[in-house]
Structure formats: C-alpha cells, structure tokens
C-alpha cells in the first residue's frame, strides 16, 4: 500500500469499534471516517481523543455516502444493537439487518472490501456445534432476537449472488476488555466482578439451572478485545493489498478455541489484584434463564487455514492486563 487507506469504521463510540480505531491509530492509520451515535455522553471518552478525519452520525451516514469527499478503501462495520436482553426484534432488525444490507450493497456497488461483525449468539444453545460452516446457517436457532438478527444477515449475505470483492463476517464470541464501561448490564463479567470486589469484596455469579453444569462452571470462549482487533486488522491488510483471495470470503469464528468457566474469570479478577477469590452464587434472572448459553467454544480451524497464525492471549494474561492497566487506574484504551 503506497498511501494510507481511508477506512469507514462503524460503531466507533462503542466498545470494540473504539478499541479498533485506537489500534489502527497505533499502526499509523488515521485516515478514518467514524460512524456511530455520538450523542451518548457515556461513550464520549471512547472516541473523542482518537485520530480521524471525520465523524458522521449513524442516521445521516447512508444519505451522505454519495456526496463524501473521500474515496473509501474499505468498510469495517462493527456497529450493532448488541443488547441480548432487548426482545423487540424490530429494534435489532433496523440496525443489524437493514442497515447492514445498505452498507453491503454500497460496498458491492463500489467494489469496496467489507468486514462486518456477526456473533456467536447465532449458534443458540450449540445443538449444531460451533463450526463456522455456511451449510448450517438455516439450522441454527438463536436464543434471542439479537442472535436471530445476526443470523438473518449472515444467511442473506451468503445467499447473495452479488457481493463486495472481498468480505468477511466475524462471529465474535465473548469479548472483554477496556472501553466497555458504558455497556451497563451487558458489560463483561470481569468488569462487573471488578466493581463488586471494589464495593464489597466479593463476586456474585449465577447459579447453574442446567443439569451437568455446576454453579459458576458455565463455559464460554472468552477473547480479549486486543486479540480480536488484531485479527480484523490482519484481514484488512490482506484485503487492501489484494492478497485475500475469493475462496477466503465468508463467515469466520473469532474466539480463542478454548472455553473457560465464569469461576475462572472471576477468580482471576481477584488474583490480578493480589486478592484471594471470594465468590458467592445467586439465581439467574428469569428473563434470561431459558435463553442462556451454558457452553460456547469456537472452532478456529477456518481462520487458521486462512493464514492467521498469531496466538491468542490466555485468560489469565488478558484479565491481568485489563484489570491492572485499565480497570484499576480507570483508564480507557
């Protein structure tokens, strides 16, 4: 690449989007067009100190696309309605399906590389496994409207005869790390554990309400956000340098390939602060009890086969970095 590319990144006031922008800045990339709802005050620290050429409100972006004074080299669509406890499908459909289709169609028309965020929530209870095969999309039964909306867009994208020249949809598993303060109830267990320890010296985890799983032993594939944005950047580099081939287009899992327990997560939040774990168990809220994933573990063979060889941060090291360098000093990334 002789010149620095101009990249559109959506969701940049949010968790993963803001971390991705900072990572791009650290690689020397600042020709960035940031797209999101920038009126949310609790998200301001996530984006306002980053380097970029323009910010555009999400609602205005589609209408402004034809008149932008920039030649867009790639679109990284990380913006989404991610609240798994929001059960009004229409809310998820508007941003996660309709908006995504509009961006896809623009990238197709202009032949722009396109990367978007899907989700492991598409896998539902895991009855069909966690393999990022295109063949099982119609069989998947997500447990909530968020997961349904993500799967609906995945199915639509795979079925489209016309598509961007190079593209990927990334099924994010359980992402944790800095810049998630604004997420409230939807923030990671590490974030909530840290604040519980700070307030009363203990962590409360959900009891198991499923046979075969002990309290706190619900298993998820936790991926540190710094690892996740490195993968996106790696894909983007290959797409922009024309070394990403057509057969690599499609859906990819983005986890670590190793499930760990919530107990391990909470215990390491204590250990990172030099404290002995103190964990209690509480009943899971009824509104999520029958829609809860007890086990997720990404099959990472597809990404590895595409050429990504970097290791993923261990849970112990990721939690320590997050706690010591961001949560304790109350800093963002």
pLDDT digits (tens, 9 = 90+) for 310-326: 999 999 999 999 999 99
Q: Could you report the per-residue pLDDT of 145-194, keeping only the tens digit for each?
A: 999 999 999 999 999 999 999 999 999 999 999 999 999 888 999 999 99
Q: Which three-class secondary structure state does DSSP give residue 254?
A: strand
- The predicted structure's pLDDT at residue 143: 87
Residues 6+ apart with CB under 8 A from 207: 215, 281, 282, 283, 284
Side-chain-side CA neighbours of residue 280 (13 Å):
9
Residues 6+ apart with CB under 8 A from 110: 72
Contact 70, 53 (CB under 8 A): yes
Selected residue with higher pLDDT from 261 and 185: 261
CATH of domain 181-219+259-296+321-327: 3.90.25.10
Tokens matching residue 142: 């997500």
CATH topology of domain 7-176+222-257+298-312: Rossmann fold (3.40.50)
Task: Note the pTM of the prediction, 2 decimals.
Answer: 0.95
The residues spanned by each domain of the chain are 7-176+222-257+298-312, 181-219+259-296+321-327
Lowest average pLDDT, out of 29-33, 83-87, 301-305, goes to 83-87
- The predicted structure's pLDDT at residue 1: 46
In the residue annotation, 247 being an active-site residue is answered as no
In the residue annotation, 130 being an active-site residue is answered as no
Catalytic-labelled residue, pool 106, 146, 176, 252: 146
Contact 236, 74 (CB under 8 A): yes
Beta strands 219-220; 260-261: pairing state: antiparallel
Q: Could you report the per-residue pLDDT of 48-85, keeping only the tens digit for each?
A: 999 999 999 999 999 999 888 889 999 999 998 877 76
Catalytic-labelled residue, pool 183, 204, 302, 320: 183
């Amino acid at each position: 690449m002789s010149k620095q590319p101009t990249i559109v990144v959506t969701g940049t006031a949010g968790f993963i989007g803001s971390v991705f922008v900072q990572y791009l800045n650290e690689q020397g990339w600042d020709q960035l067009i940031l797209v999101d709802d920038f009126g949310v005050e609790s998200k301001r620290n996530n984006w306002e100190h980053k380097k970029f050429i323009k910010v555009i409100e999400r609602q205005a972006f589609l209408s402004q696309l034809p008149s932008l004074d920039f030649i867009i080299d790639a679109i990284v669509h990380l913006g989404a309605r991610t609240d798994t406890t929001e059960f009004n499908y229409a809310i998820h459909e508007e941003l996660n399906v309709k908006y995504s289709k509009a961006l896809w169609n623009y990238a197709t028309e202009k032949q722009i590389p396109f990367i978007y965020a899907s989700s492991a929530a598409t896998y539902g209870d895991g009855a069909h496994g966690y393999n990022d095969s295109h063949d099982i999309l119609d069989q998947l039964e997500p447990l909530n409207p968020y997961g349904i909306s993500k799967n609906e867009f995945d199915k639509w994208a795979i079925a489209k005869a016309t598509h961007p020249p190079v593209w990927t949809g990334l099924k994010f598993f359980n992402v944790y790390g800095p810049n998630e303060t604004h997420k409230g109830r939807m923030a990671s267990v590490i974030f909530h554990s840290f604040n519980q320890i700070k307030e009363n010296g203990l962590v409360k985890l959900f009891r198991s309400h499923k046979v075969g799983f002990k309290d706190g032993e619900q298993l998820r594939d936790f991926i540190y956000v710094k690892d996740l944005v490195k993968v996106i950047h790696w894909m983007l580099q290959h797409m922009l340098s024309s070394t990403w081939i057509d057969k690599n287009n499609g859906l990819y899992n983005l986890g670590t390939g190793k499930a760990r327990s919530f107990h391990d997560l909470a215990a390491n939040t204590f250990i990172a602060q030099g404290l002995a774990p103190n964990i209690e168990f509480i009943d899971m809220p009824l509104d999520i009890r029958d829609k809860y994933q007890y086990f997720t573990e990404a099959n990472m063979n597809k990404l590895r086969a595409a050429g990504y060889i970097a290791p993923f941060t261990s849970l112990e090291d990721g939690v320590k970095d997050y706690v010591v360098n961001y949560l304790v000093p109350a800093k963002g990334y």
